[in-house]
Structure formats: C-alpha cells, structure tokens
Structure 1
C-alpha cells in the first residue's frame, strides 16, 4: 500500500458537510434552470433532447466516448460500445419523434377528460460502469424531452467517460442556446454519501446498475424507478432453426463482452436437439469446457462468492488466460460454455456472469425447459426476461403466462432486442423494469412516460349509470343472489 497516496487522498477528501453543500448547490442550479425550461414550449424541449443526442451520435465524439469508456472501466470493447451509443440513441430519437410532452397531450370529449403533460422536476440519474455513456445519455434525453433537469451520478470507474459526455452535451447546448445547468454531473470523488444526498434532494430517481444502488434509491424517500437483477436464460425448443438460433445467441452473448444485463447467461436446450444445437454453437466459435476446465474457470471467475473483476466483461481469450486454460490458445474462442444442471449459490454458473460465458442446461421437453428456467430465476434474474427460439410461437404466450418475466423475446438476439430494436416494437431503453418479481415498481422498458406527471382535467358529462343486472347479471345467473 502506498501510505503517502492514502494519506493524501484522505486529506483531499471533502467532509460530509462539504459533500452535502456541493450536492445542494448542484440541485439548486438545476431547479432554477428547470423552472424556466419546463414552460419554454415543445420546440425548446425537442431542441434540448436533440442536442444531447447529437452530442453522443456524432462519429468522432462517439468514438472518443467509446474509447474512454473501455479505457476507464476495463469493461467491454470499443467497437460494440460505439455501435451501442449510436443505435440506442437513434432508436430513442425514433420513439420520441413527434411526441407531445408538454401542454395538452390528449382530449377525450366522450369522457370529458383532458390530459396535460407536466415535468417531474430534477431527475437523479444513477448509472453503471458497464455503460458510462449510453445509459446516462438515454436518461438525459428522456428527461429533457419531458421538460426536466437531470443530474448524473456515475459509477466512480465511469466518471471520466460520463464527464466527457456532459462536456459534449454542454457544447451542443451552447450552440442551441440551452442552459447547461439542465444537465450536470456529481463531481469527483463520487461517494455513496453524494449519491444518497442527490437522491434525497431530487424529485425523481432513476437507478440503473447494482442492486445496492437500486435499494438505496428506493430507501431515499424520493419517488424512484429501479431495475432488477439480470440473469437471462433462453430456451431452444426442438422446432427451432438451430443454425439461426446459435448465430443469434452467439451474437448476444459476445456483444460488448456481455456487459448487458440482457445478455444470455444460460441456455436450455431440448434433449431432442441438444447435440445438434451444441454443434451449431461450436461452429459459432463457442468452446465447451470439460469438468476440470469448468472448475478452473469457476475458481477464476468467483472469489468468496463474488464475481472477479479480472473476468468481468473481458473477452473469452482474456478469461481463458485468467483461468489458466492455456490449452484453448489458438482456438479463437468467442465464448466459453459449461454444462450445468444445478441452481443457486452452490452452482455459481447458474447466476449472472457479466462475461462471454454460457451455462448450458439439457431439458427433456419444453415443459421441463420452462421448469429449469423457473429454477434459475428462483435463484437470480426473476422478472427480467426470457428468450425463446422456436417455430411454434404459441409457446411464447405460454411462457409469458407462467414464468416470472416481464418480456419474452422470440427468435431474436436477446441483448439487442430486450431494450428495443429496429425489428421489434419494444421501446428503446437501457433500463428494464422487472416488476414485483424483481422487486421493482414497474415492468416496462423505462421510456419517456416515466419522466412525466400527467394532470387530468375532468369536465361534466351526461350521467351514465348502468343497471345492476348489466354488471352482475352473469354472476347472479351462475351463483344466485
């Protein structure tokens, strides 16, 4: 330990009171700017949202942000972050295009109801190290579109990347005549105290990342949206196009070195096609480990039950090296696979891995596959989503009715599809609610609707009182009065 550095850090660290004062000053600036912004009209709100979007989408800036993100956090890879920054923001712009988010947004003369969109105020955006640019900009654009100010609380690892993003946004704001106080960032060092103070002082908290951050958001006393734990499983049913299923699973499992909570952590293959599907996965540069190799990988990936940083969001090659799997050198492995049959802490591969490592389960039939997924989610990942590869799409409805999931993703690359894609109708988002299964208060993709209050004006209409038998006649006929 470098004692001098440690002492210097302690001396430089702000006191608790200084942290609170600093956060209070940020919130005061944001609140003042927001009050003027929310009444500036739809065109101004749209301009601010567009400025934030172009700040990250412009290729040179996007490249710098992608490179900075990987250099700062050591998570993921530059090309996939570059693609994610662009596509997720483009998709969000598509979802927001032409949407009214201030003033009157709906009139229903028959019900006598007029709806008026209202801003929520100052949003505290808690963001993870896995996506230190794409996630905050998604929240920033949504917040601005709805007339809000936003203060980002990045992870300590991702602070530099997020600060660069905010710098780019402020440059665009200057060109567009937008107040930079509408988008701010907690200064370094980002501490739990600073994040907690921000949550307490804000009007709304939107928390993405660790479950510790989500629990802290819920405990802040401020209205909060938080996400559940990821640990996605996908079922390969016997009627599936196996080559296409393997291609999509491999793409999803390897994208950005599996930093996404929507990346498959397990696949459950029906016995009738197990061997054929494994062959297809091997053709997609997956490598199946034997029992001895699996044990070495487990020892490298988990220390005292916690994921090791040296394997998290690293390439399969880097993970193999960390695990001492020298025999895999030269195989050009894109992802590693281990066969699994158990669930829970004694079987860590059944949980989230945040790495291009895939647990493979064998199911006797579709009902058994659903049972296996339910057992996985009883340990980790309940509420998030499940993947299904099949030619019988009715099975998707069955999963949606029976499994504890908010989304069923059919015949798609899961991590690209769950947060919205151009070939499905889900809203573009990097924050997915997991419902009460995942101890969340919402089960949708966090889109702009969650950044709005809605005031309803109720006018008198002609009274329409139904007859009792219209509503209870069926009940009376079956049960009696």
Structure 2
C-alpha cells in the first residue's frame, strides 16, 4: 500500500488547525487563575522528565551536552514558571482610574510553532507554557531531526494539560511532518500567529502565509572587549558562554572584537582559559567543514566539541581545548567565520579603538541581517551608552556571558527560550518573547467631556494669543471656526434620526 505523506500531513494540518480554533474559543473564556493552574500543572509534570528528555535530545541530534540541556529544561520548568506567577495576561491587565482608561488582554487565538534542533525540548516547553498562560491554542510542527524528543515532551504536556482542564485540541502537533503539511498549517485561516525559532527555512514558508510572525532568529553576535574592561572576567564569561551546550545557545558569542592596545593580553588570557588560536592553514581547513558551496549548513558541525571539530578538519589539538579561535581582519560574504557557527568556535578581530570596533560590530550584526544579540565588556559608561544608542541589534548585554544573559538567567531580561531578532521585516518583535507578545490589548476609553466642552477650547486659545502675533492668531481663529462648524454639523447628524 502506497501512502502519500504529503497528503496525510496536509489533511492532519487542517484537522489540527480547525480543532484548535474551536478549542481556543472555550479557552478564551478561562480566567487568568484557571490558566495559571494549568501552567503550573504542566510545568510540574514535565520537570519530572527533564533529565531523561535532555538525554534523549542529545542522543537524537548527536550534538550539545545533555547536562546543559537538562539545565535549560529545568530553567524553563522552575525559573520561568516562577516568573510567570502573578503576571496578568488576559482580562483587565491595566487600569488608569484618573484618566478613565482600561487595558484588556485578549489572546491572539491559534498559534503555530516550530521548534529548533538546537534546543528542541526546552523551547517546546517554553512556548507551550506561555501560550497557555496567555489563553492561546498552540499547534507544533516539529523539526524532523528531533521528532522523537519533541513528540515525547508534547505527549507528556498534553496529558498533564488535559488533566488540569485544558480543552482538547488547544495543544497538539503534526506527527506526520512534511513541508507541504507545515505550509498548510501556517496558511490555514484559523491560525493567527506563527512562531519560528532558529529554523530559517521555516521562516520563508511563514512569510508566504501573510500572518504575523515572531522570529527567534539566528544571530552573528559579536562580543566587544573594551580597554577598561576586567579582562580576566570578560574572557571567563565568553568561554563559559561559548562552551555552554557546545555553543548552540542563540545569544552565544560568535566573534570577539578587541582594541589593539589590549589584544595581546586578551589572547594570552584566552589561551589560559582553554582557547586555541588556529594557524591560518588550520582555520581554512576548519572553515571547509561548516557550509556547502550554496551556503547551507553542513551536518556534523553543530554542537560538536572543539577537539572533535579539529580532528574532523584534519589537525589535532589537546583534548582539554574548549574553544577554537580564528584570527580575522575583514567581514566577508565568502568567509564562514563571518557567519553564525553553532559550535565552540570564535572569530577574533582587532581594531584601533572603540569607534572602529563599533563599526566592526555593526558589520558583523548586519552580515546575516538578523542583528540578534551584541555583548560588550567595559567599565566606561559612555562607551556602553554609545553602543546602546547606535547598534542595530535586538538586545545589548553588558558585562555578562551572552548565552545566559540573553535568556535572562544572569540579567533581568524576561527569562525566555525564544529571543526575537532585531532586523525589521523578519518578525513583529525583538523582545525576549513572553506571554505579553501573544496577546493584543483592547483599549477602553470612557467619555470624559462632551462635544460641546471641546468647543470651549476656542475661547481659551483666542485669549491666549499675543498682540505681536496677529497672523498666527488669525490663522488659529480660522481653524477654530472650522472645527466649530464641523462639530455643530456632527451634533446635528447625531440628533436627526432621518439622517441615519
């Protein structure tokens, strides 16, 4: 018997979208307290499987470090869940009694979500929690390479969510995943929002749907070390960040930019912390591993330890080497080190001063048009301020490891596993995505003055003029007379039922 997986996936996508649409209508009536109870129940249920899920995803992808994946899973189940408590997302979320204004949080409806290979379990858990928290239904289209891990964690959460009262259909996933099925799901009229994390191929499909998109994109994040920085701490932060899950965190540093006056000191400290500066020949051999001639990323390079990468490239480094570093001068379309490398590999640039370093960082940020994250290590508040004002980037992290600072573990940014990209046109937000990004705000404004009261402004303005400003006063008077005429006409229409 021949089975057409495309047709099967398309049909399943339609059923899931329609079921989610009907189920979300019921969910939209839930008060915040009931939504919160479901979130807590789901988080507690999946936390019990955090370690086994980390092991499963590491084995399935053959990348990263399971202990670090376990840390990410626990971070979402505990720290994120704690942060969600008390957050009001639906119903009355703001009230200004003095000005007679009110904000009502309204779920967007049905969300389609794609999870990445890099953090499949923690990202899936996170998106589920924030979708339920904000009263939305969510349907996942899992990445085929991590289908086992994503489907398993979703099965755990679906069972727990239903037991806690979530309407059936509000949390679901495609179990026959094809490009045609994913496209059908995103294009379905029942879907309001699409969330894409670290899957550039899915972004193109999402853009064709015409729907609102939240893009947790890839990024070529530079780390600038300025001369006033604590060099030892800066290097320690960068190495710690870049080796976390073997460099797969979306906000992890991809390159280091240093002022030339401290470059030798920084290089020496890097070597003391386990970094290996490759020769030009070695860096070219390693570069050949990463991308195909057409630009696609090759398999077998993401989340791989430094020593293993070196062996695959044809040279050897000590087993205790943590990060491979390639010295570079220019940002180039043909140089892989100008792109995001989801592994413990860094480019190293020297610049004369912080202003030239600033330009280099802009080049790197715009190279892949994602402008995701930039980190700076400095003790000069004015330099930090100038970087904050001028960099085309979604988030600027100061004196912190970027992998942890970006996700809100070592900063007070919202703790998130989906980080919006800063580039216009690729997504609707550059935020650390939270439940607040999954609602729209209905504005309520009470009448505080009559139309007749508005006409009184004429008298006030006429008497506030100055004798030496006759022309201005005359123009203002004409404008007010015109406004008064319009208001009178509007009142007449309102009071005359024959005109309705």
TM-score, normalised by the number of residues in structure 2: 0.87
Choose from 452, 457, 464 the match for 2:439.
Answer: 452
Aligned partner of 2:348 in structure 1 is: 360
- Offset, 1:34: 1.8
Aligned partner of 2:155 in structure 1 is: 167
Aligned partner of 2:214 in structure 1 is: 225
Aligned partner of 1:72 in structure 2 is: 60
> In the aligned structure 2, how far is the partner of 1:407 from the partner of 1:200?
30
Choose from 183, 195, 200 the match for 1:206.
Answer: 195
> In the aligned structure 2, how far is the partner of 1:158 from the partner of 1:51?
25
Aligned runs of 1:267-346 on 2, under 5 Å? 267-304=256-293, 305-326=295-316, 328=317, 330-346=318-334
The alignment status of 1:12 with 2:3, answered yes or no, reads yes
Aligned partner of 1:400 in structure 2 is: 388
SS in 1 for 2:95: strand
- Offset, 1:441: 2.7
CA contact (8 A) 1:229 1:438 kept: no
Aligned runs of 1:343-422 on 2, under 5 Å? 343-380=331-368, 382-421=370-409
> In the aligned structure 1, how far is the partner of 2:202 from the partner of 2:297?
17
Q: 1:322-366 CA deviation, whole Å, 9 max, x = no partner?
A: 11113x1x3411110010011122222111111110000011111
Aligned partner of 1:28 in structure 2 is: 18
> In the aligned structure 1, how far is the partner of 2:164 from the partner of 2:414?
27
- Offset, 1:468: 6.9
The alignment status of 1:440 with 2:427, answered yes or no, reads yes
- Offset, 1:438: 6.7
SS in 2 for 1:317: helix
Choose from 402, 414, 427 the match for 2:414.
Answer: 427
CA contact (8 A) 2:6 2:180 kept: no
In structure 2, relative to structure 1, the CA distance for the partners of 1:331 and 1:19 (3 Å cut) is: closer
- Offset, 1:270: 0.9
Uncovered stretches (5+) of structure 1, i.e. residues with no partner: 1-7
> In the aligned structure 1, how far is the partner of 2:109 from the partner of 2:291?
42
- Offset, 1:169: 0.9
In structure 2, relative to structure 1, the CA distance for the partners of 1:468 and 1:295 (3 Å cut) is: farther
In structure 2, relative to structure 1, the CA distance for the partners of 1:271 and 1:83 (3 Å cut) is: same
Instruction: Count how many residue pairs are aligned between Structure 1 and Structure 2.
Output: 461
RMSD: 2.5
In structure 2, relative to structure 1, the CA distance for the partners of 1:223 and 1:439 (3 Å cut) is: closer
- Offset, 1:200: 1.6
In structure 2, relative to structure 1, the CA distance for the partners of 1:200 and 1:55 (3 Å cut) is: farther
Uncovered stretches (5+) of structure 2, i.e. residues with no partner: 476-500
> In the aligned structure 2, how far is the partner of 1:157 from the partner of 1:347?
27
- Offset, 1:381: 5.0
- Offset, 1:443: 2.0
Q: 1:430-455 CA deviation, whole Å, 9 max, x = no partner?
A: 22222345733322111111111222
In structure 2, relative to structure 1, the CA distance for the partners of 1:376 and 1:27 (3 Å cut) is: same
Q: 1:254-288 CA deviation, whole Å, 9 max, x = no partner?
A: 11111122111100011111111111111111111
> In the aligned structure 2, how far is the partner of 1:106 from the partner of 1:33?
27
In structure 2, relative to structure 1, the CA distance for the partners of 1:289 and 1:331 (3 Å cut) is: same
TM-score, normalised by the number of residues in structure 1: 0.90
